[in-house]
Amino acid sequence: MEIAIIGGGIGGLTAALALHHQGVDCRIRVYENVREIRPLGVGINLLPHAVRELTALGLQEALRKALVEPKEFGFFNHHGQLIYREPCGIAAGYKYPHFSAHRGDLHLVLYEAVSERLPAGTVVLGHRCTGVEETAEGVTIHFDGAPPRKADLAIAADGVNSVVRRQLYPDEGPPVFSGVNIWRGATRRKPYLTGGTICRIGGIFTTNKAVVYPIRNDIDGRGTQLINWAVEVFTDQQGPVDWNKPGRLEDFFHHFKDWHFDWLDVAELMRKSDLLFTYPMIDRDPLPQWTFGRVSLLGDAAHPMYPRGGNGGAQAILDAMALARHAKQGGKDILKNYEAERLPLANGVVMQSRNAPPDVIIDEVERRTGGKPFKNIDDVMSREEMLQVLEKYKKVSGSDLDSVGRRSA
């Protein structure tokens, strides 16, 4: 049996590793559009439920060497006041760590593992898929400027702009725009707070928010970190759905020019960024079906979601592992069984990320205070209310302690 994976991103490479790890009797081909693997992008978070799966693939030590292991989450209003703080990963009692990463570093760990473990030629670069065609014998994958390839099963892990999804759902239309645009960058600076704090700052009530966290440690031998930052601003104009689209500081900086906190100068962080990208806050309405015959969707091709809960990459990893388990079990319904397990769970995360992501507690505090500073957070919103919001998101996404596993004493 030959399994073709269309797209060599996080989901596609994890699927290749998982199929190999399960010992599935098949030949694997990963078809990737780019002609050269380069460390593109900026920050991404891997919560413990994703790290559990990558640990099962024997990747935890490689991840620990290349990525950052944060200590805590911090929620702040747009005045820089602390609303809530909680530990993360091992410090929170999980059996598995939480990692923050430069997306390119994570991608490289996965790519190197595929190159080391699977036969040469598994990843085929420079192949942009233009469509799939099912026949009595299997699936034919068509490419732009390259001969078609055949396989028994095809997994479309080709991202939010998936060609295969568009073929399966020709009338779906473009992604759903939230009315919010994101600007993202990375800045070199000395550690702030614990040196491993993931900060969510500001709320929708004040029309802007930011997330800040380190993605590389000691990049110069003097303790300097590479800090990822991303901001959200309401806008009437939607930018292109392209993670690598360059952005302009003048388009958003006026919203954050006064964000000078005693624990972090966010405005300076933006001004001194080494790079700057822009991306619309988009997702897609959940699909009723991913699998059509010998073809199925995976990752962002199946369930693109708002990047507000650290779950986009995680859900792709969970998809990949489930696919491999069902492929190992065999039978004629591999893809249908994979869909039956993953579709309802991933669709639930899409809607939770859209309607009630973790930073909704900041929105509520900003709403109750009218966007003004508070004297005592307990008079504004109780810890129990905050925990209820956060725990609901964790349970829906499968990242709660009971689902992931607790660390032994």
CATH no. for residue 289?
3.50.50.60
Please state, as a whole number, how many other Cβ atoms lie within 10 Å of the Cβ of residue 378: 9
pLDDT recorded at residue 277: 93
Query: Domain limits at 293?
Result: 2-56+101-174+285-355
Residue 44 maps to a domain: yes
pLDDT recorded at residue 204: 67
Alpha-carbon 223 to chain mean position: 27
Residue in the block written with tokens 């709660």: 400
* Residue 346 and residue 53 in contact, taking contact as beta carbons nearer than 8 Å: no
* Strand, coil or helix: 260: strand
pLDDT recorded at residue 205: 63
Residue 6 region by backbone torsions, left for phi larger than 0, else alpha for psi between -120 and 50, else beta: beta
Number of structural domains in the chain? 1
Q: If we measure between CA atoms, which residue out of 189, 186, 201, 188 comes closest to residue 276?
A: 186
* Residue 45 and residue 99 in contact, taking contact as beta carbons nearer than 8 Å: yes
Residue 145 maps to a domain: yes
Residue 85 maps to a domain: no
Identity at 57, one-letter amino acid code: L
Residue 91 maps to a domain: no
pLDDT recorded at residue 36: 86
For residue 207 the two structure tokens come to: 């029309």
Residue 45 maps to a domain: yes
**Residues of the chain where predicted confidence (pLDDT) is lower than 50:** none
Identity at 401, one-letter amino acid code: L
pLDDT recorded at residue 207: 64
Model-level pTM? 0.95
For the sheet with 146-151, list strands across it.
129-134, 139-143, 146-151
Residue 264 maps to a domain: no
* Residue 38 and residue 189 in contact, taking contact as beta carbons nearer than 8 Å: no
DSSP H/E element including 111: helix 103-117
Residue 111 maps to a domain: yes
Residue 296 maps to a domain: yes
pLDDT recorded at residue 326: 98
Report the DSSP beta bridge partners of residue 35.
none
Environment class of 392 (CB within 10 Å of its CB; exposed 0-12, middle 13-18, buried 19+): middle
